[in-house]
Structure 1
Amino acid sequence: MTGPGEVGPYAARIRGERRSRGWSQKQLAVRLVRAAGDGIAMPQFSSILRRIKDHEAGNHRPKDPYPLLYSRVFGLREDELFADRVVAVVAPADGAGPPDTAATSALPWIWDPEPTALAIYDLTRSDLMLDRRQAVKALAVTAGLPLVDPVQRWLARTPIAFATTPAAGRIGLDEVAQIEATTNVFRTWDHTHGGGLARKAVIGYLNEVADLLKDRHPRDITVRLFSVMAQLSKIAATMSWDSGMQTAAQKYYALGLQASKPAGDRQFGASILASMARQLLYLDQANDALELVRLALDGVRTSATPRLRSMLHTREAWAYARLGRPEAFRRATETAEDAYADASPGDHDPEWITYFDAAELAGVTGGRYLELSRQQSSYAVDALTFITRACQLRQGTSTRSLALDQAGLALAHLRRGDTDEAVAVGTAAVETAAQVQSDRVRIQLRELFAEVSARNDPVTRGLRVQIRETLAR
């Protein structure tokens, strides 16, 4: 915490982020107004400029809606900007200036089986010993060429060189089947509840699987263990993200992608690329996200099931929405819907893609229309249609996704001017959010709180109190 007479770290962060982009304070003020859109009421331009000067001088800690707006403009999480500690920043994409080498996270790009297993073993071992509060301090992720270029090797169809020494190993096929069943349990937990306490359990289990791969096994067992390791890495990544650990999440995604190569599972590798793209989209790195999604689509163009193709095209549509390209978004969304319409019970989809159902398709589409409604309020009607459908279909499925949908639905009602319905749905969102541990849900609730607070309507007072209390917990 800062003491008397000290300027909080947030002041230097705001000033540093602005200067690193070459913006004047007036240019930053213009971007804050744009980020507010139609949904957040803003004072006169001179007042906004005065606030920026006060924030950079450390005279006044930013209050709502400024933390949310700074977060949108800089592409950083609010707790990165305003925590009372020094944190790293997202490595900028091409054309955004040279990244600070201290702020970038070096991803372990290894495409051979044994070094990949060893890298996962070392990462999980250090993760298990790391205090979570220390881990959250490392918030840099890699973007731009240092991320996109190495990932290109995922497409290479080079043969995998496994060790040829014959050995029985420590486990047989029955034990591998038990490990696979446990992995499915962890995946279900992740989809239902998010991160939290289960993250350490997944990390520990992943460490054990990586340790098994230090031994020699028959080829069929080795391939299945690499498949499990890839899947556990993706679960660990998602749970790390839900726990606010962006750097760790990206490392687990990258290592999971590399483990999918010796597993011979190109479809699962595409799903990891889609997850990496989603993380970048949350961090406003839409161009890089689009590159990863296109790479994934290229890799499974002839092998993807309709459900997987549909999911990948929703990520493509998401990137177009973030880039402000509504027509391209609609086109990609229609492609996703057409692909999903081709799905049938006889497709034999793998377990890891079954989460992507009609509810998920509707929820993701509605969420993107909601983003577009920030710039053009008429899109709120489409958001209401799709998110309402998602909420109706969510019964008994992912609690985390339901919380995101309900908060999004409340925002859509606000932007349509239906305050009473927004309060009713927002209250349900807060109750659902209390059941999960998810950083994505917290961000959505903060956005809902900012928009509700900006209206300063007595009808919304109770909802504001509920959101504030839930976020504090």
Structure 2
Amino acid sequence: MDATTPGSLAAEILEREDLKQALAEHDFAAAFALIKKWGGLSQNRIAVACQLTPSKVSTIISGQQQITSFEVICRIADGLRIPGRMVGLADRPWEVQTDTPEPASRPAQASHLSDEASWRPAKTVDLAAELTRSDLVMDRRAVTRALSGAALFGVALLDSIEGWLQPAPPCTPRCQRGRIGMREVEELEGTARAFRAWDHRYGGGLRRKAVVGQLNEVAGHLEEHQAPNVEHGLFRVMAYLGGTAATIAWDSGLQKQAQSYYLLALRAAHAAGDDAFGANILAGMARQMLYRDRPQDALELVHLARKGASATAGPRLRAMLHTREAWAYAAMGRGAAFRRASGEASEALTNAGTDDEPYWIKYFDEAELAGVTGGRLLEMARKEPKQHAQQAADTIRKAVAQRGTEAGRSHALDTIGLAECHFLMGDVTSAVDLTGQAVAAAARTQSARVRTQLGQLYPYTVDRGASQRIAEARTMIRDLLSS
């Protein structure tokens, strides 16, 4: 087996009862030793295949360290070509891979939307058409391969959105006369609203093609000459759909695709003159940077959003932007700045009414603020559990109580976070109970992000004695993550 391009272990090796038992029990000390003995692989070759260091493999074989990370288990299965069922996983991608050639066309990359791209409305329409048409002709697996790469960071990202602060130039008249009016625009906006609500509750990418298809249709209408009010309405709908497409891609782990749609949505909001929604898109991009451990980039995006929408942002939007700022400060270890920004978010939210802001920001209420703030306190508790774990638990518990199971994805994330808080506090009994609730909540969503967060509970269930309940919690997590 080549160390850099691993092949399958011999069938007679995988059929050995001792190896099958070791893999089923996740006893990788025994499994690696057997693979070395009967598979003829050196320690270094095992390390390279599984993307581990040789010293890490050595400590595993010697029994000094156990594998507790679900991600590492996946890397071992993929690197050594061990069928997923042998380690409690679903079939791995390479087990079901076909030789179907990829379509010739490629989706527009993030750079197509950013490198010296004009902010003229006509260019935004062209970019939308290019991105959605190429996206729609590719199957899901091809899209994943093409668009799961790295997103733009730092100066490259900030330079690409410099035009956000400039006034939108007038649209260039199109030759073909438009055929729709404001009634059709309102219907399209209703569809965009329904897609957003569905994604906010369930997450995942099951309706991605539907959103992209609707976005493509809007781009088609904008390729025709429309009345000014219809044109602005269509750009607003394009921004809404682009934002939803970006969120779906981000929630599914497609970082490059998410950024492509975020940038498109920002340009569409700019063409529509909707500074407030543009700021909301920038907040989404900041969140993406925070999940990619780029807090300084996130902070720059939040400041840009606040500057661009200073005259139009309502209380809820301002509160949400403050929480993004607080998140960045927490990630940077700036505790005082985190507390200040969190206080500003709470203060802004006290001024929020019931009917004074757009539908897309109505979700940001006291429960959402508690969930976001609790999540940041949990991140701090992982480093200093005695100082922050109890406060994190108390804050997240408010979110769980206020929004309930109907919140779908948010409820699942809250419950997972609350379970981890109790593990950090040493309250294993409550932590196990909450883990069961978290697994049940996660199973009701299609969110890859929820499953990633659930995977962070897995290490807490390993090496905690012979408790039957701990073992049951571990099995529940593993069964869901491998499904």
Please indicate the TM-score interval, normalised by the length of the shorter structure: 0.7 to 0.9
Distance (Å, rounded) in 1 between the aligned partners of 2:122 and 2:220: 11
Aligned counterpart, 1:237: 246
Contact 1:9 1:83 in 2 (8 A): no
Aligned counterpart, 2:160: 150
- Give 2:292's aligned amino acid: L
Aligned counterpart, 2:377: 369
Distance (Å, rounded) in 2 between the aligned partners of 1:444 and 1:181: 32
Residue 52 of structure 1 and its aligned partner are, at CA, apart by 6.2
> Highest Rg: 1 or 2?
2
Aligned counterpart, 1:305: 314
For the pair 1:115 / 2:123, whether they are aligned, the reply is yes
Q: Deviations over 1:203-233 (max 9, x none)?
A: 1111111111111100100001000001101
Residue 105 of structure 1 and its aligned partner are, at CA, apart by 5.1
Picking from 246, 262, 267, the partner of 1:258 is: 267
Picking from 163, 166, 169, the partner of 2:178 is: 169
Question: What residue ranges of structure 1 are gaps of 5+ in the alignment?
Answer: 16-24, 26-48, 71-77, 86-103
Distance (Å, rounded) in 1 between the aligned partners of 2:276 and 2:150: 28
Residue 323 of structure 1 and its aligned partner are, at CA, apart by 1.1
Picking from 447, 467, 472, the partner of 2:477 is: 467
- Give 1:350's aligned amino acid: P
In structure 2, relative to structure 1, the CA distance for the partners of 1:328 and 1:52 (3 Å cut) is farther
SS at match of 1:186: helix
Contact 1:196 1:437 in 2 (8 A): yes
Residue 269 of structure 1 and its aligned partner are, at CA, apart by 0.5
Contact 2:168 2:270 in 1 (8 A): no
Distance (Å, rounded) in 1 between the aligned partners of 2:131 and 2:395: 40
Picking from 327, 330, 338, the partner of 1:318 is: 327
Residue 471 of structure 1 and its aligned partner are, at CA, apart by 0.7
For the pair 1:351 / 2:388, whether they are aligned, the reply is no
Distance (Å, rounded) in 1 between the aligned partners of 2:126 and 2:50: 37
For the pair 1:185 / 2:188, whether they are aligned, the reply is no
Q: Deviations over 1:238-297 (max 9, x none)?
A: 111222222111111111111111110001011001101111111111111111111111
Alignment of 1:34-433 (within 5 A): 50-51=55-56, 64-65=67-68, 106-109=111-114, 110=117, 111-137=119-145, 138-156=148-166, 158-164=167-173, 168-346=177-355, 348-377=356-385, 378-395=387-404, 397-433=406-442
- Give 1:11's aligned amino acid: V
SS at match of 2:111: coil
- Give 2:143's aligned amino acid: A
- Give 1:375's aligned amino acid: K
Normalised TM-score (structure 1): 0.80
Task: Provide the aligned length of Structure 1 versus Structure 2.
Answer: 410
In structure 2, relative to structure 1, the CA distance for the partners of 1:3 and 1:310 (3 Å cut) is same
- Give 2:200's aligned amino acid: H
Residue 53 of structure 1 and its aligned partner are, at CA, apart by 7.0
Distance (Å, rounded) in 1 between the aligned partners of 2:216 and 2:428: 49
SS at match of 1:261: helix
Residue 115 of structure 1 and its aligned partner are, at CA, apart by 1.4
% identical equivalent positions: 42
SS at match of 2:283: helix
Contact 2:461 2:470 in 1 (8 A): yes
Question: What residue ranges of structure 2 are gaps of 5+ in the alignment?
Answer: 1-5, 10-39, 81-108
Distance (Å, rounded) in 1 between the aligned partners of 2:354 and 2:390: 32
Q: Deviations over 1:29-72 (max 9, x none)?
A: xxxxxxxxxxxxxxxxxxxx8216789xx999x9734566x9xx
In structure 2, relative to structure 1, the CA distance for the partners of 1:134 and 1:389 (3 Å cut) is same
In structure 2, relative to structure 1, the CA distance for the partners of 1:148 and 1:413 (3 Å cut) is same
Contact 1:326 1:372 in 2 (8 A): no
In structure 2, relative to structure 1, the CA distance for the partners of 1:296 and 1:468 (3 Å cut) is same
- Give 1:359's aligned amino acid: A
Aligned counterpart, 2:104: none
Contact 2:50 2:79 in 1 (8 A): no
Distance (Å, rounded) in 2 between the aligned partners of 1:465 and 1:188: 32
Distance (Å, rounded) in 2 between the aligned partners of 1:362 and 1:291: 24
Using CA pairs below 8 Å that are at least 6 residues apart, which structure has the higher relative contact order? 1
Residue 303 of structure 1 and its aligned partner are, at CA, apart by 2.1
SS at match of 2:242: helix
Aligned counterpart, 2:90: none
Let me know the Cα RMSD of the aligned residues: 2.8
Contact 1:281 1:289 in 2 (8 A): yes
Distance (Å, rounded) in 2 between the aligned partners of 1:52 and 1:66: 14
Aligned counterpart, 2:23: none
Distance (Å, rounded) in 2 between the aligned partners of 1:82 and 1:107: 36
SS at match of 1:345: coil
Distance (Å, rounded) in 2 between the aligned partners of 1:330 and 1:417: 26
Residue 396 of structure 1 and its aligned partner are, at CA, apart by 5.5
For the pair 1:437 / 2:446, whether they are aligned, the reply is yes
Distance (Å, rounded) in 2 between the aligned partners of 1:453 and 1:307: 41
Alignment of 1:19-38 (within 5 A): none
Distance (Å, rounded) in 1 between the aligned partners of 2:270 and 2:369: 28
